[in-house]
Amino acid sequence: MEEEESLEREFATGTTAHGFSRAAETKSIFRRSAWILLILGGLGMATWMISLRVINYFQYDTSTEITLTFEPRMAFPAVTICNFNRYMRRNLNAEDYAIISLTEDVYSGYDSGYSYGQYYYNYYYDYSGDGESSPSTTTQPTNSNFNESWANISASYPNGFDFGNFTLEKGWKLDNISVLECTFKGIKCNLKKDFIHTFSTYGNCYTYNPSLNSNRSRYQDQPGLGNGLHLTIDVEQSEYTESLPDGSAQTGVIFQVHPQWEPPLVESKGLGASPGFHAFGALKRQETVNIEPPWGKCNKSLTLLHFDQYTFSGCIIECKLQKIETECGCKPVQYPGRSTLDRDRVWV
């Protein structure tokens, strides 16, 4: 009677996988051992490679594709322009100097003695509007005058002093006095309709072409000088108040070119232009599409409180604003919205 073949031997001799039949049919123990080692080594290698593929799949790696395209017509970006000078000398009187200086004292921790506020209050009396020394008969204010002035200022603003309205009134303005020439593709600008006002750490700033959804949106069909925005600005250096706590030792303008949906960060992304020189700003448009998890870290469901569209600049602005409101209950004038924590705090 013929002995029945085991299932293991039947599989080894019948499978098409290499090595199994060799190990089962050979009579030599050495050859069988060698084939078994080769089979185990091959299985181990296959298992290792499969595990690498599985791990690599769950890492959700992505590839970046860069495509260069040429557009016959592109939307012109927004351009935000600021003067390094925050306040114009001709707009300030003695009380204004006291307001700027005293609020600086509050946030600098000066509460006694001869403070910066006293110094800058005296500064107004030491110099006239044209920078020349005033007559020696001018009476210098005393500490009692100084404290009385602050009391009058507080009485004038029972709900808290608002630096927004103050800066709007006393700061630099983009008007027919400061703008000597403004054209877009050779066509004269309308300063009141083509620009909107915004705040920054430099005070009053103005944004050209702020919206893509208006009948005054600008488009560009070719690059180069004369095919974009051209501005000639008088920085009015004689009106600079760089000696004030909020003053700047720099002279000229600072500007930033940015998309309409992105709030400007002139203080960190702006380009400076000195008086007496031509400054050119050329750029290339680059669009980046971030993918959502699990392939990327972009969460498109996130929204911002003060901006319709989520942007990196908007996120930075709101993060700083939340930190400032948490720490002091106030809101710097260049940040959006209104402080909701402490209405009695001075706004700076």
Low-confidence ranges of the chain (pLDDT < 50): 1, 106-142, 339-348
Nearest residue to 121 via CA among 137, 143, 90? 143
Total residues found in the chain within this entry: 348
The span from the CA of 231 to the CA of 228, in Å, is: 10
pTM of the complete model: 0.68
DSSP assignment string, 107-162: HHT--SSS-HHHHHHHHHHHB-TTSPBPPTTPPPP-HHHHHHHHHHHHHH-TT---
pLDDT reported for residue 31: 83
Nearest residue to 207 via CA among 346, 84, 77, 45? 77
Tokens of 78: 């927004």
Tokens of 290: 């971030």
User: How many C-alpha atoms does 166 have within 13 Å on its Cβ side?
Assistant: 24
Nearest residue to 346 via CA among 201, 169, 166? 166
**Residue 47 backbone class (left: φ over 0; alpha: ψ -120 to 50; beta: rest):** alpha
The span from the CA of 250 to the CA of 270, in Å, is: 14
CB contact at 8 A, 172 and 204:
yes
pLDDT reported for residue 149: 58
